[in-house]
């Protein structure tokens, strides 16, 4: 029996659930060399890691007879980044340990904290929760960790990305030194290594990711389009694949809102997930996806974390991920538990080199293709219609009576054509996309050229990436200081210690006068803004020469207000209080 080394109560639960043999990560954590040790486990989402760390805690939760260890305080703590993932983990542990009598309490945001405190007082052996809510219970004295034997950090990399480091450290500092600490993470950035070094002892390193960091059950495709045709490409991709469930990723909640409205107007059954949605709205959207009342979900990276949709077979990166790790996290929503999935990156022509570099870094082989054409979609539609209409079906007497009446008034060909038309009418219309040729790409770039920026003046600011420069606050600052509108600011180039931007020459003098008048104001008046003597490319070349010792020329300075002011070091942007 594949699970013969496990207590019979766990082996029986796994067999009843349909587990015939352990997945690679499950086999690794129950191997003899892993028994009783701290572990750092790299495993992709969908690899069975929830059951894996459940099995790894068996010696801490069960007696030699296979029953639950009695006690009033929690023996194991599982920390997950999101409410959905914590609830999912809790459900898995309930069926895995239910026959043994192990009780599981869940502590997550959006639930009644008083009920959670009552559940903690009942003495559960396992507590599963999100960092903010667990820390809240710990600080209020409702969560007692003095008897803890094992701690699991599920998707630890995501928790650090979401800003939960302080919460995690406070929770871990409140646990006994004798506990086991199990870190499960799809990726292993330096922050995870630091966490492991601080809170683990002689940890066993396990990796089931392999040399190919992408999921073996995911087919990757990269679709090149003109930047103005991204929305049309999304429509055609959805129509071409007709996936049972599809997830579309955008970078911001505003773009999620916009794409959701476009798809809804086009006739797609679609929901959205972003930071602006309440927990109730989020639950309703997820339930609609699970019930298959809707087939498309538009989401941001953070909002989609911890979501497990068994029918998800298509992931579309509408806006490119910021790095290879984000690419993997997004794509890992599909191709889970041995099922096949497709991940599609929509790549504007001018971003292809960046995407190629990202794919190489992730060791992912992607097929570069054009967006599905209207003709290709019609061919697919034709085959799907034939399959649907010719599929075996049972008809009752009322159906046959109505069919006979129709045949008496119309020919069979007319009736069949009407049936085909009704099927097609329920499908969103496809888009005609520009052909992917060099001439088309050049025409697209010319179309996107902004009128009024043929003749510009470059300006510079004395803040850059090291001072947390970001277009989200740079653009409003320029509008306030220069008394201009957003449409009157051209390209913005952010360097390490300075930022360059374009202003049309026709309004440059007026902009300079306004900047001088607003110098020293309370809101951003200490940012030095001046005419740049070189373009950003010239400046970058001079900086490189300066670093190699080949440039001894003094840098010219042409003041446009704010001379002598100290650089403005903007505080890092905070997203608000962490959810409890």
Supply the DSSP string of 207-263, one letter for each residue.
Answer: E-S-S--S-TTEEEEEEEE-GGGHHHHHHHHHHHH--SEEEEE-SSHHHHHHHHHHH
Taking alpha carbons only, the member of 79, 41, 265 closest to residue 172 is: 79
Q: Copy the structure tokens of residue 355.
A: 């995407």
CATH superfamily of 218-373: P-loop containing nucleotide triphosphate hydrolases (3.40.50.300)
Predicted confidence band of residue 445 (pLDDT cuts 50, 70, 90):
low
pLDDT of residue 119: 93
**Could you tell me which residue, 182 or 334, shows the higher pLDDT?**
182
Q: 3-state DSSP call for residue 493? A: strand
pLDDT of residue 124: 93
Question: pLDDT tens digit string along 228-277?
Answer: 889 899 999 999 999 989 999 998 888 999 999 989 988 899 999 987 88
pLDDT of residue 556: 35
Q: Indicate the fold that domain 456-547 takes in CATH.
A: Alpha-Beta Plaits (3.30.70)
pLDDT of residue 93: 94
Spatial distance between the Cα atoms of 240 and 316, rounded to a whole number of angstroms: 13
Please state whether beta strands 341-348 and 296-299 pair in parallel, antiparallel, or not at all (unpaired): unpaired
Question: pLDDT tens digit string along 310-364?
Answer: 788 999 999 998 888 788 878 877 876 567 889 999 998 888 888 998 898 888 8
Question: pLDDT tens digit string along 15-41?
Answer: 888 887 888 888 889 888 888 899 998
CA distance to 27, 130, 290, 397, 525, per residue, from 83 (Å): 28, 6, 17, 50, 42
Which residue blocks in 272-411 are alpha helix, DSSP H? 279-290, 324-331, 352-361, 374-390, 397-409
Where exactly are the structural domains of the chain? Answer: 8-207, 218-373, 377-425, 456-547
Average pLDDT over residues 111-122: 91
Lowest mean pLDDT among 48-57, 217-226, 405-414, 420-429: 420-429
Q: 3-state DSSP call for residue 371? A: coil
CA distance to 226, 227, 318, per residue, from 434 (Å): 8, 11, 18
Spatial distance between the Cα atoms of 311 and 285, rounded to a whole number of angstroms: 15
Please state whether beta strands 76-79 and 204-207 pair in parallel, antiparallel, or not at all (unpaired): unpaired
Average pLDDT over residues 469-473: 83
Average pLDDT over residues 389-409: 86
Residue with tokens 């679709």: 223
pLDDT of residue 140: 92
Instruction: Give the global pTM.
Output: 0.57
Q: Copy the structure tokens of residue 500.
A: 């360059």
Cβ pair 81, 164 in contact under 8 A: yes
Spatial distance between the Cα atoms of 102 and 71, rounded to a whole number of angstroms: 11
Q: Copy the structure tokens of residue 197.
A: 């070094």
**What would be the CATH architecture of the domain defined by 8-207?**
3-Layer(aba) Sandwich (3.40)
Lowest mean pLDDT among 176-185, 211-220, 545-554: 545-554
pLDDT of residue 443: 55
Q: Copy the structure tokens of residue 360.
A: 């190489």
Spatial distance between the Cα atoms of 298 and 316, rounded to a whole number of angstroms: 9
Predicted confidence band of residue 141 (pLDDT cuts 50, 70, 90):
very high
Q: Is the pLDDT of residue 378 over 70?
A: yes
pLDDT of residue 460: 92
Average pLDDT over residues 448-477: 82
Strand ranges of the sheet holding 126-129, from the earlier edge strand across to the other edge: 104-107, 126-129, 76-79, 150-154, 180-185, 39-42, 204-207
**Could you tell me which residue, 356 or 557, shows the higher pLDDT?**
356
Question: pLDDT tens digit string along 183-241?
Answer: 988 777 788 888 888 899 888 998 876 544 445 578 999 999 888 889 899 999 999 99
DSSP state of 498: -
Predicted confidence band of residue 496 (pLDDT cuts 50, 70, 90):
confident
**Could you tell me which residue, 558 or 46, shows the higher pLDDT?**
46
Domains 8-207 and 218-373 share a fold: yes
pLDDT of residue 361: 83
Residue with tokens 């991940």: 343
pLDDT of residue 211: 41
Predicted confidence band of residue 449 (pLDDT cuts 50, 70, 90):
low
If you write DSSP's letter for every residue of 17-80 in order, what string do you get? TT--S--HHHHHHTSGGGTT--EEEE--TTSSHHHHHHHHTHHHHB-TTSSBPP-SS-SEEEE-
Predicted confidence band of residue 153 (pLDDT cuts 50, 70, 90):
very high
Q: Copy the structure tokens of residue 270.
A: 């679609």
Predicted confidence band of residue 290 (pLDDT cuts 50, 70, 90):
confident
Provide the percentage of residues in the chain whose pLDDT is more than 90.
31
Average pLDDT over residues 365-391: 88
DSSP state of 494: E
């Amino acid at each position: 029996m594949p699970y013969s080394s496990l207590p019979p109560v766990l082996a029986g639960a796994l067999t009843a659930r349909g587990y015939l043999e352990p997945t690679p990560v499950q086999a690794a954590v129950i191997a003899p060399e892993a028994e009783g040790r701290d572990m750092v486990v790299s495993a992709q989402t969908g690899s069975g890691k929830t059951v894996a760390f459940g099995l790894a805690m068996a010696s801490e939760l069960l007696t030699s007879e296979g029953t639950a260890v009695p006690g009033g305080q929690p023996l194991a703590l599982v920390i997950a980044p999101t409410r959905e993932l914590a609830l999912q983990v809790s459900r898995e542990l309930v069926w895995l340990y239910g026959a043994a009598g192990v009780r599981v309490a869940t502590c997550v945001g959006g639930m009644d904290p008083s009920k959670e405190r009552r559940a903690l007082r009942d003495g559960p052996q396992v507590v599963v929760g999100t960092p903010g809510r667990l820390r809240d219970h710990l600080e209020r004295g409702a969560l007692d960790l003095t008897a803890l034997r094992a701690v699991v950090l599920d998707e630890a990399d995501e928790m650090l990305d979401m800003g939960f480091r302080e919460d995690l450290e406070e929770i871990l500092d409140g646990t006994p030194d004798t506990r086991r600490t199990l870190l499960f993470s799809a990726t292993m950035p330096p922050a995870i290594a630091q966490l492991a070094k601080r809170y683990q002892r002689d940890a066993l390193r396990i990796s089931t990711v392999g040399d190919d960091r992408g999921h073996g059950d995911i087919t990757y495709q990269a679709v090149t389009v003109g930047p103005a045709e991204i929305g049309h490409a999304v429509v055609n991709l959805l129509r071409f694949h007709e996936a049972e469930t599809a997830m579309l990723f955008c970078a911001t909640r505003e773009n999620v809102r916009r794409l959701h409205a476009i798809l809804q107007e086009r006739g797609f059954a679609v929901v959205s997930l972003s930071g602006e949605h309440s927990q109730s709205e989020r639950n309703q959207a997820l339930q609609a996806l699970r019930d298959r009342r809707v087939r498309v979900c538009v989401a941001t990276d953070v909002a989609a974390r911890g979501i497990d949709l068994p029918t998800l077979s298509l992931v579309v990166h509408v806006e490119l991920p910021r790095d290879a790790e984000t690419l993997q996290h997004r794509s890992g929503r599909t191709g889970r538990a041995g099922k096949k999935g497709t991940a599609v990156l929509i790549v504007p022509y001018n971003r292809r080199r960046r995407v190629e570099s990202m794919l190489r870094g992730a060791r992912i082989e992607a097929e570069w293709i054009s967006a599905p054409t209207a003709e290709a979609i019609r061919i697919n539609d034709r085959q799907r219609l034939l399959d649907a209409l010719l599929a075996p079906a049972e008809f009752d007497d009322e159906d046959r009576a109505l069919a006979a009446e129709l045949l008496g008034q119309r020919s069979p060909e007319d009736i069949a054509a009407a049936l085909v038309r009704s099927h097609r009418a329920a499908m969103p219309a496809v888009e005609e996309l520009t052909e992917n040729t060099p001439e088309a790409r050049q025409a697209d770039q010319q179309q996107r050229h902004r009128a009024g920026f043929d003749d510009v003046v470059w300006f510079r600011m004395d803040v850059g990436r090291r001072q947390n420069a970001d277009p989200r606050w740079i653009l409003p600052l320029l509008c306030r200081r220069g008394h201009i509108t957003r449409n009157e600011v051209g390209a913005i180039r952010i360097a390490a210690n300075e930022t360059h931007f374009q202003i049309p020459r026709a309004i440059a003098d007026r902009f300079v006068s306004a900047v001088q008048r607003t110098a020293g104001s309370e809101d951003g008046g200490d940012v030095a803004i001046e005419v740049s003597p070189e373009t950003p490319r010239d400046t970058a070349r001079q900086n490189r020469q300066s670093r190699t010792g080949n440039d001894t020329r003094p840098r010219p300075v042409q003041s446009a207000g704010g001379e002598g002011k100290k650089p403005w070091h903007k505080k890092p942007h905070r997203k608000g209080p962490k959810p409890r």
